[in-house]
Amino acid sequence: MDKLLITHGTVVTLGENNQVIHDGAVAIENGRIADVGPSQTLEATAGDCQVIDARNKVVLPGFICAHHHLYSTMARGFAPPGEPAFAFGEILERLWWRLDRALSPEDVTSSALVPLIECIRNGTTTILDHHASPSCRDGSLDLLAEAVLESGIRASLCYEVSDRNEPGAGVRENARFLERLRKEPDPRLAGMVGIHASFTVSDRTLEMCREVAEEFNVGYHIHVAEGVEDHQHALENFGVRTVERLVDRGICGVNSLFIHCINIDDHERELIRETGTTVVHNPESNMNNAVGVAPILDMMREGILVGLGTDGMSSDMPAQMRCAYLVHRLEKRDPRVAFVEAPQMLLFNNARIANRFFPVTLGSLEVGAAADLALLDYHPPTPLTSDNFLGHFIFGMVDAVVDTTVAGGKILMRGKEIQVLDEERVAARSRELAAKMWKRF
């Protein structure tokens, strides 16, 4: 049955005309939203369709993660050998660059399936992923795409190009995958040109990336100024700071994502704004790596589009939002800030970002938009209206359990039961593969 009616829920539409509809319904047909309104009205016109009763649930557009690393799964519970890393560069060298090199093709698939299930559990229906697996680079984006299609969510995929194993490695993989998408477009998949970071690529490599991005008319997905290493490297080797170097080489623009942007100065912020480049904030990851607090409140005030990602830490977007809310209040020592900005990044800006990459409208419950939804168990203990929705979102819904997840009109989880993958088997296989991978590390 390709018709679905979600009814008797508290429908929060988000989008341009955000409304809270009590006892509201969403009608879905052929993967798109056919109608949104009072349950009574929609039930009268629904006809023959599958029905989900959303009583005591909040119905929201599925969450969007603007920066993820599906490949990071096998780091969970792993203690890298040697002294604990202190500098950010040491964290990369001692953990991540050894972990990604140890991944086999089967590890890539398994590493992806675990967080994809976690996305479904957390109502995250779109992710923008950044992948690395140098020992099995060619074809790795196809492995991810297969896993993504199996999960039923949407993903923008790219390979993070760097010179650290082989100069320019990964450019070909990005081009190959973009060519596949050109030949076989799918509304659940998108592609970008991934670059690890300025400090791991030469100018020649950037030029190769630019040729691919221009050929396929896509933007770049790159870590920028995460640790101090990035601007130190740019200053020592090119006499300019990171953002100046990238902008000067054309690695920027409205379809590009600069991830982190912690160690940037006023002039770099100005360049980001002038070029219309998007910034993605990952507060939990930044706190975990102790790299600092990105000046996102200043950026947003100045008109830079800032989205929210997890950097592979988790697939739980409301938790990430609250982390942003708290850390910026603490950093500014001002309890008046971030109440609007933190949810705005997740609920509105991530939709603006994703809508540049996917051919369907995401992040809004409106007629014609993709039927990507999350149903959260939530009994509001105080009146809930469109005016105080953010307060309920930050202090209540952030801890609400997701009951049902729908993407493209397909039910991926219902009554907290994953419908599309065998969660227990995926985790068991991952444990087996991880134990072997840890030995190769």
**Site of interaction with Zn ion (CB under 5 A):** 311
Concatenated DSSP letters for 63-130? EEEEEE-GGGGGGTT---SSSPP-SHHHHIIIIIHHHHHH--HHHHHHHHHHHHHHHHHTTEEEEEE-
Cα end-to-end distance, the chain, whole Å? 47
Q: Which is nearer to Zn ion, 70 or 418 (CB)?
A: 70
Q: Which residue is nearest to Zn ion (CB)?
A: 311
Of the two residues 284 and 311, which places its CB atom closer to Zn ion in the complex?
311
Place of tokens 């992710």: 127
Residue 50, helix vs strand vs coil: strand
Whether the CA torsion 124, 399, 75, 327 is positive or negative: it is: positive
Place of tokens 């780091």: 75
Residue with Cβ nearer Zn ion (311 or 366)? 311
Rank residues 100 and 311 by Cβ distance to Zn ion and give the closer one: 311
Residues 6+ away with beta carbon under 8 Å from 246: 198, 206, 222, 224, 252, 258
Shortest distance (Å) from residue 397 CB to Zn ion: 26
Cβ-based nearer residue to Zn ion, 128 or 433: 128
- Nearest Cα residue to 348 out of 317, 302, 388: 317
How many whole angstroms separate alpha carbon 33 and alpha carbon 293? Answer: 38
Min dist CB 347 to Zn ion, Å, is 22
Considering the complex, what minimum distance in angstroms separates the CB of residue 96 from Zn ion? 9
Q: How far is the CB of 130 from Zn ion (least distance, A)?
A: 5
Rounded to the nearest whole angstrom, what is the least distance from the CB of residue 226 to Zn ion in the complex?
8
68 Cβ contact list (under 8 Å, min separation 6): 115, 127, 128, 129, 130, 309, 310, 311, 312, 315
Q: How far is the CB of 139 from Zn ion (least distance, A)?
A: 22
Q: Which is nearer to Zn ion, 36 or 197 (CB)?
A: 197
Contact between 52 and 114 (Cβ < 8 Å) = no
Our CB check for Zn ion shows the closer of 33 and 108 to be 108
Shortest distance (Å) from residue 298 CB to Zn ion: 22
Helix axes 423-440, 105-121, angle to 10 degrees: 140
